[in-house]
Structure 1
């Protein structure tokens, strides 16, 4: 494990949320419905308040750009952005234990809006990344036509693609290229 469990989950959730943006040519917004937000909430084991309505969806959708800026910033800019997010939401770190997780840090109340909790959890995760000087674990997908965010938590720092789709597309292209050059 590179970071604590809550840091790793926070980074992965933030990248997954950012990657729902339709930023690559031909891409579609993958967070267009309340049902999609509900799936995201469940997939990343969020706890606390979840209104499951259009207003909450719009707040979370609006957060994707700032999170992308944070996850792709250089170290000094990441510090500025993380500090601004924590200050904006008046984060107060505290140890909590719930469900299947032992003691970990939350910095908002459980009844804070979901977008606030996501922003603060991401900023807190980035604090760990910055302090460990591990920003190299965050990058943009190596797929030529993709702009997705990659969180590389592997030991050998080998993750290059944001999703299985991009990984498979590039593996198939490399296979075809090898086959063509072998003829």
Structure 2
């Protein structure tokens, strides 16, 4: 009788421990599900947000007389890219604004990543930022307008079941295009050595 009672008590102890383990497992799975849902919801919101283009320095002064600075650089930063695939494929387009002078060597039809030349080009980095790099040789105030666009792409690093869940949240993938952002480059010949009251360059 005593032996049976001992076994019964051990059985109850083991059953209690098993119930504790099951409860802790269920709670952990519930927390994981909540974290996953919040992560997917945040990513889905990011994909639905509009794409923007920021130009940190919209007005650039370029000194034609500086022998150490032969190129003007304008940084363009997309806001709203989500996946690495988007950052590597985002496109930039820059045009001369209506009514502005056109710098020598500017590509006909505007400038993008693919049609750069010896005078002007757009360089895109892996983090999605773009740089307009130009060689301006004549003085002038040049006005431009720029935008970026990207084909929305989900991140490839997610497991298939998470990708499917994210697709349902995001819906149909479309091309996102930013509003046009203006910027200007003022090219002037400044500085130089003064000789008898005359600046020599």
Category of TM-score, reference length = shorter chain: under 0.3
- TM-score w.r.t. length of structure 1: 0.22
Structure number with higher strand proportion? 2
Structure number with higher helix proportion? 1
Greater Rg by CA: 2
